[in-house]
Structure 1
């Protein structure tokens, strides 16, 4: 995978703009939408590798959007963003397949670190490698 494509789903324009600019300047291919319906349309067109999803977006909530995203593109990595650090939300996000959860306001370096980790994992998966194999230096396992 050369460059990850990141979709930012947040109804606040200033948040979307800030994230898109920061991620673009870090080398990610980016696009943003303000609601769940537009996110679903864009998944068909753009096929993102990673989706940053605000939990409280208009039209479709974050969990419903995640379920639709996983049906459309099962390998998409989703990171939820929320102003709430409610453990119930965080646990539910994990159970429903989110790759991460960031509490707003979060540090951009923290986000970039999470995305870098996901990018590496996605790149290994696209080559049929396991992250443990890569980290151990053992190379792909032969069965």
Structure 2
């Protein structure tokens, strides 16, 4: 963990991108209690603004967002920061979109409704606590 000036360790930063406010609130509460600095965005424009102004470590990204879909957001996030980790979330389980997201650098995907404990484990593993399997969910 990185320590600045002997004070508190720097918190890892997590961005939740979903147009459903209930999902964002749930994930923010869960991951704030895990010790992460959490951010939220309801659309792609806000997500990209946050990613440009904060060094985000991991993004939980919904595939189906009005305006700019998850694949376009993923593409732009990776252009800005090729090392950013992205876990995709989908209620649709569309295999072609999941494969495209993986090809574009997404590390995992979850199918909604997901098990919050599996999501917590996957995020903690991706944030440096070990390794996780590529796909988790109901697909």
Q: Which has the larger radius of gyration?
A: 1
Q: SS in structure 2 opposite 1:113? A: helix
1:60 matched to 2:68: yes
Deviations 1:67-112 (A, max 9, x none): 1101111111001100012222221111111011000010111111
The answer for the alignment partner of 1:104 in structure 2 is: 112
- Report if the CA contact (8 A) 1:47-1:73 is conserved: no
Q: Partner of 1:81 in structure 2?
A: 89
Gaps in structure 2 of 5+ consecutive residues: 3-10, 132-139
**Large movers: runs of 4+ above 6 Å:** none
Distance 1:115 1:28 in 2: 10
Q: 2:19 aligned with 1:15, yes or no? A: no
2:74/2:101 contact within 8 Å kept:
no
CA RMSD, 1 decimal: 1.6
Unmatched runs of 5 consecutive residues or more in structure 1:
125-130, 132-143
Aligned residues: 123
Separation in 1, partners of 2:66, 2:96: 21
TM-score, length basis structure 2: 0.82
The residue that corresponds to 1:139 in the other structure is none
Counting helix residues as a fraction of each chain, which structure ranks higher? Answer: 1
Contact 1:54 1:62 in 2 (8 A): yes
Q: How far is the alpha carbon of 1:64 from its aligned partner?
A: 0.7
CA offsets, 1:26-58, max 9 Å, x none? 111101010000111111112210001111112
TM-score by length of 1: 0.80
